[in-house]
Amino acid sequence: MIDWFSNIREKNRHSFLVFDIVDFYPSISDELLKLSLAYAKQHTTISEEDVEIIMHSRKTLLFDKDEPWVKRGDSPMFDVAMGCYDGAEVCELVGLYILHKLTSAFPDGNIGLYRDYGLAIFKNINTRSSDNVRKKFSETLGNLGLKITVQSNLKVVIYLDVTLNLTAGKYYPYRKPDNNPLYINANSNHPPSVIRQIPASISTRISGLSCDSDEFNKTSQVYNDALESSGYKEKIRYDQNQNQRNQTSRPRNIIWFNPPFSQNVETNVAKSFLQLVDKHFPRSHKLHKIFNRNNLKISYSCMTNMANIIKSHNQKILNENNGVSNERKCNCRNKDLCPRDGACLTSNVIYEVTVTTTTGDTKTYIGMTEHEFKTRYNNHKLSFRDRKHSHSTVLSKHIWDLKDSNTDYQINWRIIKRANAYRGNPSRCNLCLSEKLCILSARDISLLNKKSELVTKCRPENKFFTTTNQNRRRSNRS
C-alpha cells in the first residue's frame, strides 16, 4: 500500500474514498461465494471436488446451553467462521471478486481492499462527482448483498496503521490515542535472540511507515520511552534503506529444532545440538548432505507465560469444583473386572502396560489414547486373541512371541498421566508430548517402544483435516 501511495503522481490533484463493509464475514452468502468461485475458475484450476469441499465446510452449527443455533434465511447452516484460516481464505477469495466488480464499475479509479476495509483514489473529481461515486459504490456492493459505510473526497486518511496525506504528499505512522505501546521486559524469561531483536524490529516497522527521517523523529519518542520503561538501553533509529527490497534468494530445505527456552536451564541446548550434528554427521558420512549445519537449524521457542498457566490452573480447579458431570465413568457389567478400577471410560490418558513372565522377565509398553481407555484396552485384547492383528503394536507382537514359546505371562495396566489432546489452538498436542516424555524417561532395558516413535506425527491432529488432506499428508510422509 505504501508503494502504491508513493507511485501516485500529482497527489494534490487526487482525493481518497474510504469504505468499510459492515459485518463482512456474516454477510457473505452462499450465492456470493459461488459467484466468487466461478470468477476464480477463470484464472486458476478449481475442481468440482474442491468446490464441494469448500461449500461443505461452510455448514456450521453453534450450540448454546445444549441448544443448536443457526442463521436465518434460505441457507441457515451456511456460515463463514471468523478467527480461522479457512474463513480468512474464503474472505480473501470473496474480496478479489468484490475488487473485480468495483474495478469494472470504476475503470478510472484505483481501488484496494484488505479484508473488509477498502481504499480508493480518484483524480480531478469535485464534490458532486464524489457524491455520485459514493452512491455508485453503495449500489455496486448492495447488489452483492453487502452493506458499506463510505467517506469520499478526503485528502487525509488513516488506513490500518499508517496516515496518508495527499496534500503534503507524505505518509507516517498512526497510533490510536491513549494506546501506549508495551513490550516484554529485557530481563524476562525469553530467548536472548527475541530480547535482542525487539528494538531492531520496532525500528524496522516505524521506519517502513515513515516517508522520511522527520516523520520518524516525530513518533519515535513514544516508542523509545516504552523501551526504556521495559529495561532496554537501545534507541530506535531511522533506516532510510528500509523501503528498498532485497533480492530474494532460493530458499533451502531446512529442518528446524525448536526447544523451549528457560533461564533455569544451565545447559546450552543450541550449542550441544550443533555439536551432536557435527559428531554424528561428519563430512565423510553418507547423510552429511542432508544433515549438516546448513540444513539443520535451531531456534528457541517461548514457553507459556505465567498468566496463562495460572488462568489454566484456576479454570481447571473451578471446573472440578463447580462442574456437575453426568457422564458415566464405567460401564462394565462386573465392576470387579474393570481394567481401571471403575474409571475405564476416562479419555486423554497415557497408560503403561507391564508384562511379567514366570521366569521373572519384565517388559514395559507405553501408549496413549485420545478416546476412552476402555476402547483402546479392547483393541489391545483383540490383538492378543486374533493372530491377524499380531503386528498391530509392539506389545501385541511381544505377547504372541510369548504364546509361541509357551511362556506364561501376566499383564498389569496402569494410567501414568493425563493430558489434553490437540485442539488447534495452541498448536501443540500435550498428549503426544507427554507420551514421548514418558518413553524417554523409561528404562531402555525393559521398554518395548521403539525410539522411532519419538518422531511420529500427531495422530489427534488428523481429525482437523478433511479426508482428501489426510490422504495427501499420508502420501507426502510415504
DSSP notation for 431-472: HHHHHHHHHHHS-TTTB-S-GGGGGPPPSGGGGGS-HHHHHH
340 falls within a domain: yes
262 falls within a domain: no
310 falls within a domain: no
What pLDDT was estimated at residue 269?
92
Query: Are the C-beta atoms of residues 390 and 400 closer than 8 Å to each other?
Result: yes
The domain boundary, picked from 173, 205, 235, lies at: 173
The answer, yes or no, to whether residue 332 has pLDDT greater than 90, is: no
Torsion of CA 328, 330, 333, 337, to 10 degrees: -170
What pLDDT was estimated at residue 477?
47
What pLDDT was estimated at residue 157?
93
What pLDDT was estimated at residue 303?
80
Cα separation values, 355 from 130, 287, 359, 360, 388, Å: 82, 38, 12, 10, 21
The answer, yes or no, to whether residue 385 has pLDDT greater than 80, is: yes
Residues 66-95 have a mean pLDDT of 82
Q: What is the CATH number of the domain that holds 169?
A: 3.30.70.270
User: How sure is the predictor about 396, in pLDDT bands with cuts at 50, 70 and 90?
Assistant: very high
Per the structure, how many domains does the chain have? 2
273 falls within a domain: no
408 falls within a domain: yes
Work out whether strand 156-159 and strand 162-165 pair parallel, antiparallel, or are unpaired: antiparallel
Q: In what order do the strands lie in the sheet with 156-159?
A: 156-159, 162-165, 170-173
* Mean pLDDT of all residues belonging to the chain: 86
User: How sure is the predictor about 91, in pLDDT bands with cuts at 50, 70 and 90?
Assistant: very high
Three cell numbers, residue 278: 557435527
Model confidence pLDDT, tens digit, residues 151-210 = 999 999 998 899 999 999 999 999 888 888 999 999 988 998 899 999 999 999 999 999
Q: 450465492: which residue's cell?
A: 31
What pLDDT was estimated at residue 203?
93
User: How sure is the predictor about 469, in pLDDT bands with cuts at 50, 70 and 90?
Assistant: low
185 falls within a domain: no
Torsion of CA 462, 465, 467, 469, to 10 degrees: -100
pTM for this predicted structure: 0.68
Residues 39-44 have a mean pLDDT of 93
The DSSP result for 109-123, as a single string, is -EEEEETTEEEEEEE
Residues 55-69 have a mean pLDDT of 81
187 falls within a domain: no
Half-sphere exposure of 410 (CA within 13 A, CB side): 6
- Domain of residue 68: give its range: 2-173
What pLDDT was estimated at residue 325?
53
What pLDDT was estimated at residue 478?
43
- Exposed (0-12), middle (13-18) or buried (19+): which is 109, by Cβ within 10 Å? middle
Residues 424-447 have a mean pLDDT of 83
What pLDDT was estimated at residue 228?
94
In terms of Cα–Cα distance, which of 161, 194, 180, 192 is closest to 223? 180
The domain boundary, picked from 173, 190, 224, lies at: 173
Model confidence pLDDT, tens digit, residues 232-282 = 999 999 987 765 555 566 677 888 888 889 888 999 999 999 999 999 999
User: How sure is the predictor about 464, in pLDDT bands with cuts at 50, 70 and 90?
Assistant: confident
The answer, yes or no, to whether residue 61 has pLDDT greater than 80, is: no
User: How sure is the predictor about 15, in pLDDT bands with cuts at 50, 70 and 90?
Assistant: very high
Least confident range of 66-80, 213-227, 389-403: 66-80
363 falls within a domain: yes
In terms of Cα–Cα distance, which of 51, 70, 50 is closest to 60? 70
User: How sure is the predictor about 227, in pLDDT bands with cuts at 50, 70 and 90?
Assistant: very high
Least confident range of 70-84, 287-301, 439-453: 70-84
Report the distance separating Cα 418 and Cα 298, nearest Å: 30
The domain boundary, picked from 173, 200, 227, lies at: 173
Cβ-based neighbours of 68, under 8 Å, separated by 6 or more: 61, 62
What pLDDT was estimated at residue 450?
87
Name the residue with higher pLDDT: 69 or 59: 59
Residues 110-116 have a mean pLDDT of 89
Name the residue with higher pLDDT: 342 or 474: 342
